[in-house]
């Protein structure tokens, strides 16, 4: 294992109001009370469950993140949540540019970049999501697509700030479909993203930044994916909604650390 610490992150999407979240977290803590210091664990519940999650997890090593934020600090943006509010609520991570937000809510490379800057200025670590569609992979443009997304997301992010950024590679065709990128496909893209970071910043930064894989990761395939040199953790949707499967993935990461 490299010096990079695994990050196992659960993206709950639009699942888990406060009551359900409490149940899920209780299940997680009873399945996995002790977490090795060598693995970072994060849960990203919906906004309305963040307060409950932070309160419930205050004496645990599990961290809490949000699934989105607005890039302005406050103002007339009905329905939006700012980084100031997230920081005040106890979040230290936020997902940015998830493909579902790009597809259904008009998120684009420009808003992703603005949101990443805003998160960093509030000391919230952005988990920037990138990934190609099936069509783009079939047309063999996936490296260009991901390269473009990475460059635009990280525009004007400084050498010191970049170390707080996490990248999540999530091929759209593997999200929620049960179909996973093969370990070789994941490794190939992760190594490519790391090389892009080296070109944009430097080798040292590239070897320090964490790149997570997301897309149907589950206990049955986590070991082979997490064993890849450049895979530093997982962004897990479906399998993070069950305490047993999420805790099993955490145990696999601990074993590989
Ligand atoms: P999945 O979702 O694990 O259900 O495929 C991953 C994600 O969208 O972050």
Mean pLDDT of the chain: 96
Distance CA 254, CA 244 (A): 15
Predicted confidence (pLDDT) per residue in 191-207, tens digit: 999 999 999 999 999 99
Predicted confidence (pLDDT) per residue in 14-39, tens digit: 999 999 999 999 999 999 989 999 99
Q: pTM (2 decimals)? A: 0.97
Backbone angles phi, psi at 251, to 5 degrees: -65, -35
pLDDT at residue number 143: 98
- 167 contacts 130 by C-beta, under 8 angstroms: yes
Task: Locate 181 and state its tokens.
Answer: 């990128």
Predicted confidence (pLDDT) per residue in 238-248, tens digit: 999 999 999 99
- pLDDT grade for 131, boundaries at 50, 70 and 90: very high
38 among known catalytic residues: no
pLDDT at residue number 8: 98
- pLDDT grade for 96, boundaries at 50, 70 and 90: very high
Ligand 1 pocket, CB under 6 A: 11, 170, 175-176, 214-217, 235-239
Given ligand 1 and candidates 168, 236, 242, which is best to mutate, with the most ligand atoms within 8 Å of its CB? 236
Distance CA 152, CA 245 (A): 34
70 among known catalytic residues: no
pLDDT at residue number 80: 98
- pLDDT greater than 50 at residue 1: no
Predicted confidence (pLDDT) per residue in 160-179, tens digit: 999 999 999 999 999 988 88
Q: Please give the CATH architecture assigned to the domain spanning 6-256.
A: Alpha-Beta Barrel (3.20)
Whole-number percent of the chain with pLDDT over 70: 99
- 174 contacts 165 by C-beta, under 8 angstroms: no
């Amino acid at each position: 294992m490299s010096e990079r610490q695994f990050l196992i992150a659960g993206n709950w999407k639009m699942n888990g109001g406060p009551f359900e979240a409490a149940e899920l977290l209780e299940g997680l803590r009873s399945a996995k009370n002790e977490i090795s210091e060598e693995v970072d664990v994060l849960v990203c519940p919906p906004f309305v469950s963040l307060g409950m999650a932070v309160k419930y997890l205050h004496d645990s090593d599990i961290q809490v993140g949000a699934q989105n934020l607005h890039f302005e600090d406050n103002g007339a943006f009905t329905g939006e949540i700012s980084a100031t509010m997230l920081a005040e609520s106890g979040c230290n991570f936020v997902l940015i540019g998830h493909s579902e937000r790009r597809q259904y809510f008009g998120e684009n490379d420009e808003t992703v970049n603005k949101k990443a800057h805003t998160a960093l200025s509030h000391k919230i670590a952005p988990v920037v999501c990138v990934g190609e569609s099936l069509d783009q992979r079939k047309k063999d443009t996936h490296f260009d697509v991901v390269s473009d997304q990475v460059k635009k997301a990280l525009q004007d992010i400084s050498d010191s700030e970049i170390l707080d950024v996490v990248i999540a590679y999530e091929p759209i065709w593997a999200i929620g479909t049960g179909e996973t990128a093969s370990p070789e496909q994941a490794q190939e893209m992760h190594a490519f993203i790391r090389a892009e970071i080296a070109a944009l910043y430097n080798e040292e930064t590239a070897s320090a930044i964490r790149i997570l894989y997301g897309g149907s990761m589950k206990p049955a395939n986590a070991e082979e994916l997490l064993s890849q040199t450049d895979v530093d953790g997982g962004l897990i949707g479906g399998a993070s909604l069950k305490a047993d499967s999420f805790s099993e993935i955490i145990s696999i990461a601990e074993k590989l650390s």
